[in-house]
Amino acid sequence: MELMGLAIVVILLSLAFLFVVRFVILNEPADARQSFQESELAANFLNTMLETNAPECSDATMAALIQDCANYYDLQGRITCQSQGSNLQSCEFLKFAHQDLFARTFETWKVKYYFEVYRNPQSPSTSRLTLLTQGQACTGNRRLKVQPLPVAGSTIYLGLHICS
Amino acid sequence: MEKRGQMQMMETVAILFIFFILISLGFIFYTQVAKQSIATKAEEFQDLTAIQVAQLAGSLPELQCSEQNIVKENCIDYLKAQAAPAILAKPEYFDVLGYATLTLQKIYPGTDEIPLYSRPLVNADNKRASFFPVAIFDPASSTTAFGVLVIEVYS
C-alpha cells in the first residue's frame, strides 16, 4: 500500500519535472534586443550606406556608384575614383569601400552577414547577375533586408542578410 | 505482533523520509529555475531600455537632421552632435536617457568619435552595448557620412 503511495508521489514529481523542463527551461527567452537589432541593423545599414558620399569619387553617393557600376558593368563603371593614389572604376572602388565598411562594423561586432548586389534574370532561362558580394552566405536562419535601386532599363537589388 | 507493528512504523517513517527528500529536491530545483528566470527577465528589461534609449536619442531635436523644418529619419546632424555633449550634460536629460553612454562614431569617410552623453552607473553589475547605423549629415559641406550610434546601458 505504501509502495503504491510512493509510486504515485514519484509519478507526480516526474510530471512536475517534465512540466518545468517543457515550459521554463526549453522555453527560449524572447531576445527583444536581438530581434530588434537584427531587423533595424540591416535596414539602417543599407539606407545609411546608400546615402553616404564618397570623397574619393567627387562626393558621389554610394547609391550613384552602385547604379553606375550596374549600368556600365562591362566597363566596371564609368565614374572614376581616386583611392590610395590610383584610379579605380566605380565597381572596383565599391568592392574596397564595402570591404572596409563591413570590416569596421559587422566584423568588429562579430555579426555574421552576407551582402549582395544583383540583377534579376530577364528571362527564366538566364541566371541572375551578381554584381557585388561581401561576407559569407548564411547557413541557418537569417534576417533579410532587400533594397531595390533603379538602373537604366531595369532594377537592381541590394540584399543584406543578417545570420542568426 | 509487536515486531510487525514496529516494522510497519519503520516503513512509514522511511516512506515519509523519502517523500520529504523528494519534496526538498523539487523545491531546490524550482528555486534555481525561478532564479534563472528572474535573471533572464532582468536582461530583457535592460535590452528594452537600450532600444528605448536608442529611439529617444534618434528623435532628439538636439541631434536629428532637419531641412526646412522637415525631419530626416535615421540621421544625425554633425554640427549639432559636436555641440551635444555640453547640452546633454544638463540634469534634465538624465530623466530621458538615464544611466547610459551614447557615442557617435564616424566610420566612413575618415574616422571620428563624439561622446554625446555619458552617465555611467558606478559599480554597475552589467553593461550592454548596442550599435545603430546612422547617417551623419554635415550641413557645412552638404555631405553625408556613414556613422554608428553606440549605446551602452548600465544596470
Chain B residues interacting with chain A (CB cutoff of 8 angstroms): 11-12, 15, 18-19, 22, 26, 29-30, 33, 37, 40, 43-44, 47-48, 50-51, 74, 107-109, 128, 130-135, 143-148
Share of chain B above pLDDT 90, in %: 29
Q: How many domains does chain A have?
A: 1
Q: In the predicted model, what is the mean pLDDT of residues B110-135?
A: 87
**Are the C-beta atoms of B125 and B91 separated by less than 8 Å?**
no
* pLDDT higher than threshold 60 for residue A30: no
At residue A113 the predicted structure's pLDDT band, cuts being 50, 70 and 90, is very high
- Residues A4-25 have pLDDT tens digits of 776 887 788 788 778 767 666 6
**Are the C-beta atoms of B135 and B147 separated by less than 8 Å?**
yes
- Residues B65-92 have pLDDT tens digits of 988 888 888 899 999 999 999 999 998 8
Does A75 lie at the interface with B, CB-CB under 8 angstroms?
A: no
* pLDDT higher than threshold 90 for residue B115: yes
At residue A31 the predicted structure's pLDDT band, cuts being 50, 70 and 90, is low
pLDDT at residue A66, rounded to an integer: 94
Signed CA dihedral, B29, B30, B33, B39: sign only: negative
Does this model's pTM top 0.90? My answer is no
Answer yes or no: is B4 within a domain.
no
Task: For residues B27 and A13, give the distance between their C-alpha atoms in angstroms, rounded to a whole number.
Answer: 11
Answer yes or no: is A21 within a domain.
no
**Other Cβ atoms closer than 10 A to A112:** 17
3-state secondary structure B104-155: EEEEECCCEEEEEEECCCCCCCCEEEEEEEEEEEECCCCEEEEEEEEEEEEC
pLDDT at residue A122, rounded to an integer: 64
pLDDT at residue B5, rounded to an integer: 85
**Are the C-beta atoms of A119 and A66 separated by less than 8 Å?**
no
Share of chain B above pLDDT 70, in %: 99
* pLDDT higher than threshold 90 for residue A39: no
pLDDT at residue A126, rounded to an integer: 66
Answer yes or no: is A10 within a domain.
no
pLDDT at residue B74, rounded to an integer: 87
- CB spacing of B108 vs A52 below 8 angstroms: yes
- CB spacing of B107 vs A61 below 8 angstroms: no
Task: For residues A139 and A132, give the distance between their C-alpha atoms in angstroms, rounded to a whole number.
Answer: 19
Q: Which domain holds residue B118?
A: 11-154
From B107, B143, B148, residue closest to A53, measured CB to CB: B143
Q: With contacts defined as CB-CB under 8 Å, which chain A residues touch B15?
A: 2, 5-6
pLDDT at residue B30, rounded to an integer: 85
Q: How many domains does chain B have?
A: 1
pLDDT at residue A105, rounded to an integer: 92
**Are the C-beta atoms of B82 and B64 separated by less than 8 Å?**
no
* pLDDT higher than threshold 80 for residue A157: yes
Answer yes or no: is A11 within a domain.
no
Q: With contacts defined as CB-CB under 8 Å, which chain A residues touch B51?
A: 32-33, 36
* pLDDT higher than threshold 90 for residue A131: no
Q: What integer best gives the mean pLDDT of chain B? A: 87
From A24, A47, A52, residue closest to B145, measured CB to CB: A52
For residue B14, the surrounding DSSP H or E stretch is: helix B2-58
List, in order, residues 6 or more apart from B152 with CB less than 8 Å away. B100, B101, B102, B103, B120, B127, B128, B129, B130
Half-sphere exposure of residue B7, counting CA atoms within 13 Å on the CB side? 4
Answer yes or no: is B5 within a domain.
no
Does A25 lie at the interface with B, CB-CB under 8 angstroms?
A: yes
From B12, B109, B132, residue closest to A55, measured CB to CB: B109
Q: With contacts defined as CB-CB under 8 Å, which chain A residues touch B48?
A: 32-33
Model ipTM value: 0.78
- Of A27-31, A42-46, A54-58, least confident by mean pLDDT is A27-31
Nearest to A158 by CA among A149, A113, A37, A41: A149
Between residues A123 and B34, the one the model is more confident about? B34
Answer yes or no: is B6 within a domain.
no
Answer yes or no: is B102 within a domain.
yes
At residue B43 the predicted structure's pLDDT band, cuts being 50, 70 and 90, is confident
Answer yes or no: is A146 within a domain.
yes
Q: What integer best gives the mean pLDDT of chain A? A: 84
Q: Which domain holds residue A38?
A: 33-163
Answer yes or no: is B2 within a domain.
no
- Residues A46-93 have pLDDT tens digits of 999 999 999 999 999 999 999 999 999 888 889 999 988 889 999 999
Task: For residues A13 and B124, give the distance between their C-alpha atoms in angstroms, rounded to a whole number.
Answer: 40
> For an interface test with B, which of A24, A51, A61, A113 has the most B Cβ atoms less than 10 Å from its Cβ?
A51
Between residues A29 and A114, the one the model is more confident about? A114
List, in order, residues 6 or more apart from A107 with CB less than 8 Å away. none
Q: Which region, left, alpha or beta, applies to residue B154 given φ > 0 means left and ψ of -120 to 50 means alpha?
A: beta
* pLDDT higher than threshold 70 for residue B154: yes
